[in-house]
Structure 1
Amino acid sequence: MQPPLLVLLLAFFLLPGAEAGEIIEGKEAEPHSRPYMAYLHVKDKKEFRCGGVLVQKNFVLTAAHCNVRLIIVTLGAHDIKNEEETKQNFLVKKAIPHPNYNNKNFSNDIMLLQLEGNIKQTDAVKPLPLPRSRKRLRPGQKCTVAGWGKVSTWGPYSDTLREVQLTLRKDKDCEYRFRRSYNSTIQLCVGDPTENKASFQGDSGGPLLCKNEIQGIVSYGNKYGEPPRVFTKVASYLPWIKKTMKSLQLQNPDHLLWS
């Protein structure tokens, strides 16, 4: 049974008019085919959405620019507006943005969220393991990203999870577009400029999967949603992610991590 405070907060966040993000030119995902997807209800001065990926039974990986004073995490969702028995809702116990995150150029745009409790693993809620090592990603390689929101730049918002296949680009494509803000050591350039397919506002923090591994986190792009766009390169942060989760495990021995 949900705590009364959490129920009230969720009702508030799902009121019409909240800003949302979008997957441009994607398709609706098969319900619960991505059990690691997290939907973040975010409130600061206004309400907006972010995505995330469940990587341990009480940790979600997302973007550092999604860090505000109140975040509610929903797991096991397909349709965010309808009641689904598969949903599990959590308040965030601790938000840990990367210590070198720069909100001016979005470098080190990655954050861990420690949930208030552990998930109940089901077919609709399962963590996605972190990649075990750095793998060489090639320009032209196909990857996928998912999120909740509009079906086009100016279209209506979608309440259901949508997904789209995107192409990895050469670093020089983003170096040309974003100049000094793009860093190939810690970022990925994603999206073919000849195709109208992209992640966009509110998809921030969602995972980019290449061969079913988390390789990127949605970070930033131009304000019109045009590809290519920039994703945080997860492999560059594996030591920090693992060290941070281990440290919090030691502080909270009741929240044991899976190996």
Structure 2
Amino acid sequence: MQPLLLPLLLACLLPPMAEAGEIIGGHEARPHSRPYMAFLLISVQNSESWFGENLPFKTKMCGGFLVRADFVLTAAHCNGREITVILGAHDISKKERTRQVIPVKRAIPHQEYNNKTLANDIMLLQLHRKATVNTYVKTIRLPRKNHSVMPGKVCTVAGWGRLGVNAQAADKLQEVDLKVQKKNVCLHRYKYSYDNTIQICAGDPGTRKSSFKGDSGGPLVCDQVAE
């Protein structure tokens, strides 16, 4: 499995996002052990869903994470006509009493986002109302300015994306541990797209562990910090 390209947090605002999005080679997360995780339902402008199927409800899904009671961070390519954020969920197929469903008031993609190269693929979502922070819904810390993650560090990615290339999306939150690699690993594999000044290289090409479609927008978490 190829390593992930994860955009690095820039200054005080820009956090990382997994470039693709399914959890492969991971396992189900302990319910509500990641209370910062957000599940996004996004209305798109045509009948092509995130997975390329023609579906009548015209939606796609992404991940995200709560950084303030009224703001979620996600990937800019997760934008759409309307976005609904679900917080406090573990099994998204059920109406759990812990979940909070909040529409997005305003989507703020990075002003230099490029939808062809996915450069600056980050977006802030201002919620229509503040989330109620409790045991099941919490914010996660962002790294300090100029903070860097050392190669060899084992971090975690989580999401509700597909469990395999030809598999269905997961109902229950999945997670997988990924090792941060030296920059030259991704520089060698992605020499035309990897920018070693703004991206973290994570994953192991020798194992089948990764994120994929549906997990986009979720954070790489190292020591309880969204990197």
- Name the TM-score class by shorter chain: 0.7 to 0.9
Return the match for 2:205 from 193, 196, 201: 193
Return the match for 1:81 from 68, 93, 99: 93
- For 2:135 and 2:151, locate their aligned partners in 1 and report how far apart those are by CA, in whole Å: 33
1:56/1:129 contact within 8 Å kept: no
| Aligned counterpart, 2:17 | none
- For 2:153 and 2:64, locate their aligned partners in 1 and report how far apart those are by CA, in whole Å: 22
Matches within 5 A, 1:232-251: none
How far apart are 1:214 and its partner, in Å? 0.6
| Aligned counterpart, 1:227 | none
| Aligned counterpart, 1:26 | 26
Return the match for 1:59 from 66, 71, 86: 71
| Aligned counterpart, 1:206 | 218
After the TM superposition, which parts of structure 1 deviate over 4 Å for at least 4 consecutive aligned residues? none
| Aligned counterpart, 2:181 | 169
Matches within 5 A, 1:1-259: 21-44=21-44, 45=46, 46=49, 47-215=59-227
2:220/2:226 contact within 8 Å kept: yes
Matched letter for residue 180 of structure 1: Y
SS in structure 1 of the partner of residue 226 of structure 2 = strand
| Cα deviations by residue, 1:159-196 (Å, 9 ceiling, x for unpaired) | 00000000111222222222222111111111100010
Q: TM (normalized to structure 1)?
A: 0.73
- For 1:179 and 1:21, locate their aligned partners in 2 and report how far apart those are by CA, in whole Å: 21
| Cα deviations by residue, 1:112-166 (Å, 9 ceiling, x for unpaired) | 0000000111100011122233323122210000000332222343200000000
SS in structure 2 of the partner of residue 158 of structure 1 = coil
- For 1:105 and 1:72, locate their aligned partners in 2 and report how far apart those are by CA, in whole Å: 26
SS in structure 2 of the partner of residue 157 of structure 1 = coil
Matched letter for residue 199 of structure 1: S
- For 1:164 and 1:70, locate their aligned partners in 2 and report how far apart those are by CA, in whole Å: 29
How far apart are 1:21 and its partner, in Å? 4.9
- For 1:41 and 1:81, locate their aligned partners in 2 and report how far apart those are by CA, in whole Å: 13
**Larger-gyration structure (1/2):** 1
1:74/1:89 contact within 8 Å kept: yes
Which is helix-richer, 1 or 2? 1
Number of residues of Structure 1 aligned to a counterpart in Structure 2: 196
| Cα deviations by residue, 1:203-253 (Å, 9 ceiling, x for unpaired) | 1100100111110xxxxxxxxxxxxxxxxxxxxxxxxxxxxxxxxxxxxxx
- For 1:21 and 1:165, locate their aligned partners in 2 and report how far apart those are by CA, in whole Å: 14
SS in structure 1 of the partner of residue 172 of structure 2 = strand
| Cα deviations by residue, 1:73-121 (Å, 9 ceiling, x for unpaired) | 0000000011101110111111001101111111111110000000111
SS in structure 2 of the partner of residue 138 of structure 1 = coil
| Aligned counterpart, 1:257 | none
2:169/2:214 contact within 8 Å kept: no
Between the aligned residues of both structures, percent identity stands at 53
Which is strand-richer, 1 or 2? 1
- For 1:78 and 1:187, locate their aligned partners in 2 and report how far apart those are by CA, in whole Å: 29
Q: TM (normalized to structure 2)?
A: 0.82
Structure 2 unaligned residues grouped into runs of 5+: 1-19, 50-58
Q: What is the Cα-based RMSD across aligned positions, in Å?
A: 1.5
- For 1:209 and 1:166, locate their aligned partners in 2 and report how far apart those are by CA, in whole Å: 10
- For 2:98 and 2:178, locate their aligned partners in 1 and report how far apart those are by CA, in whole Å: 28
2:141/2:224 contact within 8 Å kept: no
